[in-house]
Structure 1
Amino acid sequence: MSVINTNVKSIVAQNALTVNNRAMSKTMEQLSTGKRINSAADDAAGLAISNKMTSQIKGLNQAVRNANDGISMLQTAEGAMVEVTNMMQRMRELAVQSANDTNTQDERDYMDLEFQQLKEETNRITKNTQWNGMNILDGSTNGGEFKFQVGANANQTIDHTIDQLSFGDVVSTATAAIVTTTAAGAQSSVLTIGSAGTVAVPDWKAGDVITLKLGTDQLQYTIQEDDIVGTAATDATTIAQAVKSAFTDAKDAGKFEGISVSGDAAALTFASTAVGTGPFATSITTSSGSLASIDGLDVTSRGTSNAAITGLDEALKNINSARAEIGSKINRLTYAADNLANVSQNTSASRSQVLDTDYAQATTELARTQIISQAATAMLAQANQAPQSVLSLLR
């Protein structure tokens, strides 16, 4: 072919060189980064698959750390329980010793000194044991319920509840209200409650019903004909004393804790016997927690020592149960962590097949493209030299 303006041979060589250089550049990038897929253009589906696998791998590796953190937290809790158990064993030993009548009262008092100190330390440990700034034995954190995230996806958890061990007092406040209702059509005045808790008995009639409420406790007294015996003042006193007697009977039956009543005339005074606000507000104190059975124990007598033995047996049973649950959960978390590591390892191997560079293949491809590049460059030079032969026609 004897044309000069269009050097077809040169164009062919250039195009071949461009395509080869692109392939060589891609191979060099794969060898430099170690990744077969460096952009979505390299393998769109493979990129999506590898990114999903990466999310799983990172989540699995973090879940392994989460499981190990959970194990550490439970070990901290169980370590504190070990010391509590040791102290309660000593307390039980003191209770058994004090239950023996070979001891004098002074000796029992000395035993009780150690007993009370151990009891206080038991409660202090259960209230103050912390992990990462959280109390873990008194039920104040998440209600004692802990969820350990041991999976790469949402809500893949192992749950454990550490029941409240501390036997701190729980204070609840109840409010009393005194009201009257009218029965049998009798006329009745509205009952007036004074700011000091003094109730002035009004002109009650036979058949009137007096209702006293404190929390869930309730007392009703119906005024009898026998209560109406004389003058208004005399009747008021008689009715007041009848109400007081009914209230006292109710207290003896276990109702109205924290409230007392006094007064010998036509006025009754209801007062709080505990800390509270207002004449009818009372703080009722109760013990709670798995170790509540040791609250209030002492070894100052044979009777209280025997009661202490029983209470300590109950507390030891509860703490042994809690420790058994923690131990089994630690073992479960250990197996979970091992499984997570195994899944992460296999997922990483799968991702490697999709994402990573096969160096044996890539280096072979690099050698091929380099040789072709050199050959294409030489052919381009030859194609550019070919038009020179036309000059011989001009001589």
Structure 2
Amino acid sequence: MRINTNVSSLVAQEANKNTSNSISSSLEKLSTGYKINKASDDASGLSIADKLRTQANGLNQAVANGNSAVTLTQIADKAMAEQSNILDVVKQKLIQASTATTSAEGIEAIGKDIDKLLDQVNNIAKQTTYNGTSLLQAGAASSDSATALTFQMGTLAADTIATKAGVTANTSGLSIDVLQASAKTWTATADSAAGLQSAARLNLDEVDAALTKLNGWRADFGSTQNQLESSIRNLMTQVTNTKAAESVIRDVDYAQESANFNKQNIISQAGTYAISQANSTSQNVMRLLQ
């Protein structure tokens, strides 16, 4: 019987220390809700779960991009809808000016109305922006064509949706700047009523062509919006499935971990009792010395 090295006690202490570590790990999982809290818990699982989390975060941002893009297309569509309404009024006034029952003075007044209405078409083209980006022409100071707008709708570089280039929803782009210049010259003192009526009649086809062109641009924005909304729905489904896959790897099963914690607790108590018993056996040496 040896007393300098109590092997039984050392073995019991080692086992109890391992059990304490298991209890600490179990408590960490129960308190955080994750079964992987550090790389040592599951190195490969951590790598996979992190990739899935990154993918889910990227998909969420793509959904946000899509929602912003839908708002942008709606702004452009509503602006062009107002321009279309203006052109309808211009067409109505041209028809009014083209008939023999309208006097030269009346046609002069109509010309002034048309000039102001087409100015508003240009104002709408200048003012229609989203976060500083002009939507209906190149910019507030440029009446050139707007560039194509590209929206990032996924985690890969190729996951994009774009509008068509060439939108120029101003009088120049709609080819009605000549009509506006002509309307400014309609004066009762310089022209006969018949001459003014003929001049107004010549511009009817130009307004029809402008409306056709404008409706084509509206249709492009509308189809882009439908594409964006479809992409958003698909992305949201991907986010749900990706998070579910990450949860299987990273999240703790509380029922299973609670059972494991209770088991380790019982083993710890038994280990403490074992250490006590191992220490008490060395006291038997005293009986040999009596």
Same fold at TM > 0.5:
yes
Matched with 1:165 is 169
| Alignment check: 8 A CA contact 1:294 1:312 kept | no
User: Which among 306, 312, 330 is matched to residue 225 of structure 2?
Assistant: 330
Matched with 2:154 is 151
Matched with 2:280 is 385
Matched with 2:121 is 122
Where structure 2 has 5 or more consecutive residues not aligned to the other structure, the ranges are 187-195
- Deviation per residue, 1:15-57 (Å, 9 max, x gap): 1101111111111111111111111111111111011111110
**Distance in 2, Cα, partners of 1:143 & 1:318:** 15
Amino acid at match of 2:245: S
Matched with 1:28 is 27
| Alignment check: 8 A CA contact 2:126 2:139 kept | no
**Distance in 2, Cα, partners of 1:292 & 1:144:** 19
Shift in Å, 1:296: 3.5
Aligned residues: CA RMSD: 1.5
Q: Quick one: higher RCO (CA 8 Å, sep 6+), 1 or 2? A: 2
- Map 1:1-395 → 2, pairs under 5 A: 2-140=1-139, 143-161=146-164, 163-167=167-171, 288-289=172-173, 291-297=174-180, 298=182, 300=186, 301-395=196-290
Amino acid at match of 1:107: G
Deviation above 6 Å: which 4+ runs of structure 1?
Answer: none
- Deviation per residue, 1:137-195 (Å, 9 max, x gap): 1134994211111102223110113512123xxxxxxxxxxxxxxxxxxxxxxxxxxxx
Matched with 1:234 is none
Where structure 1 has 5 or more consecutive residues not aligned to the other structure, the ranges are 168-287
**Distance in 2, Cα, partners of 1:304 & 1:10:** 113
**Distance in 1, Cα, partners of 2:146 & 2:204:** 30
| Alignment check: 8 A CA contact 2:137 2:170 kept | yes
TM-aligned CA distance change 1:130 to 1:25, over 3 Å: same
Amino acid at match of 2:203: A
Shift in Å, 1:294: 4.4
**Distance in 1, Cα, partners of 2:147 & 2:201:** 32
Amino acid at match of 1:166: N
Q: Secondary structure at the match of 2:149?
A: strand
Shift in Å, 1:128: 1.9
**Distance in 2, Cα, partners of 1:386 & 1:28:** 34
- Deviation per residue, 1:281-308 (Å, 9 max, x gap): xxxxxxx42x123444445412221222
Question: Alignment length, in residue pairs?
Answer: 273
TM-aligned CA distance change 1:295 to 1:75, over 3 Å: farther
Q: Secondary structure at the match of 2:216?
A: helix
Higher Cα Rg, which structure: 1
More strand by share: 1
Matched with 2:192 is none
Shift in Å, 1:130: 1.3
More helix by share: 2
Amino acid at match of 1:65: A
TM-score, normalised relative to structure 2: 0.90
| Alignment check: 8 A CA contact 1:144 1:164 kept | no
